[in-house]
Amino acid sequence: MKCEKKYSKSSNTNYSSKFKSFKLFGGKEACSNNFNETDWVESLKDFKYWSCINFKEPVNIFQLLPEDLRKQILSLTGKKILFTSVEDYSYKLLESGSQLINIPEKFLEILQCKDSDCNIFATVVDKNEKDIFNCQVVWPPNEDPKLLIHCIQKKFRKHECKLNIRWMIIGYDINFNFNNSEFNFKLKVLRNIFNASNHQTIVIPLELEYNPSVLCFGIPVLSKLDSPNNNYQVIGHYFYNDEKNKIGSYIFSYCLENNHFISLPNFTFYTLIISNYLNSDNCGILPFQHMSKISKMLDLIKLKNKSLKLHPNFVSLYSIGENKYHGPIFLKQKISGIKIKYIDIKCNQGDCICKSKKFKNLEKNLKYVYFDP
């Protein structure tokens, strides 16, 4: 019974009260003007008149299903974004190579749940916009994952970088919380395992139906750092979407120590695929001709609000059309937009990928995709 009381005070300091309104939970319906408490209490003996006022240790109905059926439902509903955040990080660049940083502790509980089958995606942006950064995940079995960050420079120089790291954890929601979805699109993660080879590049068609608007984002994952080259070895990639209805990834390897392309190591490449994202401002695909418009727009925003903090987005490079292989290309993400960066190398090896033809008017053959979770 929920009651509201109206108090009045008399001269003899005694309080009197009257019920202003009340609500009954359970029992037969009663008229507030002619309420009979005895009859109402008697009606509670019949469970048909009971009402729930609180849940104690509720259990999701999906948790009552057999394990195999529960996994089938999770597979049908697909993965979702379980966690995302942006962290500031000071990168002290004392020598050419990489830095290995810990995953934030707030992610570890989610990542340790095997049923969630989590994947880590990360992107790094330099606040000073001077260098290119590349990252890959190091996740040894039965250990906490870490992030390996490489700084790519034309000429090495010691300095401290102020970075923004954007983390995103993709996995199955084992709590079946379907009502807490901010995005109305479908997520899928593909896994490709590669063994070390003498190849500097790998071209892999992706196992998915052709869709000219599908968005792909990738990240390499190492199971261990078992080679001195790992500290200097950058694994770059971009995607292609050609006129023959094929979608795939172009992966290459670059060494910071020797400033040259080298053979690929053992690694696993994870591709996040986003589809059914129509009418969403959080993701899309754009040509590089739009960069000037975006730059002007962001300049206007910064003028209106100088304290505005812009976070890095997940971005990928797309090669469109018949000429889909352009050699190794890096993307440099800046607050004002996205830039294409080539590593300008010339060597005596006739079969080196540094000999890849650089097409004129490259922007016409390339687009970029973005995702702001």
pLDDT by 10s per residue, the chain, length 373? 444 444 444 444 455 445 555 566 666 766 666 777 787 788 878 777 777 777 787 777 777 888 888 888 888 888 889 888 888 888 777 777 677 888 888 888 888 888 888 999 999 887 776 778 888 999 998 889 999 988 887 777 777 888 888 999 999 888 777 665 555 677 889 999 988 777 788 888 887 766 767 888 999 999 888 776 677 788 989 888 766 667 888 888 888 877 777 888 889 999 998 887 766 777 888 776 544 444 444 443 343 333 334 577 888 888 776 555 556 777 777 666 677 776 666 666 655 655 555 544 555 677 888 888 7
Paired strand residues for 126? 163
* pLDDT of res. 121: 95
The answer to whether residues 373 and 360 touch, using CB atoms and an 8 Å cutoff, is: no
How far is the C-alpha of 85 from the C-alpha of 53, rounded, in Å?
37
Closest of 128, 139, 138, 130 to residue 98, by C-alpha: 138
Long-range contacts of 291-294 (CB under 8 A, 24+ apart): 291/337, 291/338, 291/339, 294/336, 294/337
* pLDDT of res. 147: 92
The answer to whether residues 149 and 101 touch, using CB atoms and an 8 Å cutoff, is: yes
What sign does the CA torsion over 95, 86, 250, 192 have?
A: positive
User: To 5 degrees, how large is the angle CA 297–CA 298–CA 302?
Assistant: 120
* pLDDT of res. 183: 56
Closest of 171, 180, 177, 172 to residue 60, by C-alpha: 177
Closest of 163, 181, 26, 33 to residue 86, by C-alpha: 163
3-state secondary structure of 190: strand
Alpha helices, DSSP H only, in the chain? 37-43, 67-77, 105-111, 291-304
How far is the C-alpha of 127 from the C-alpha of 157, rounded, in Å?
17
* pLDDT of res. 58: 78
108's CB contacts (< 8 A; 6+ apart) are 144
DSSP at 79: B
* pLDDT of res. 169: 93
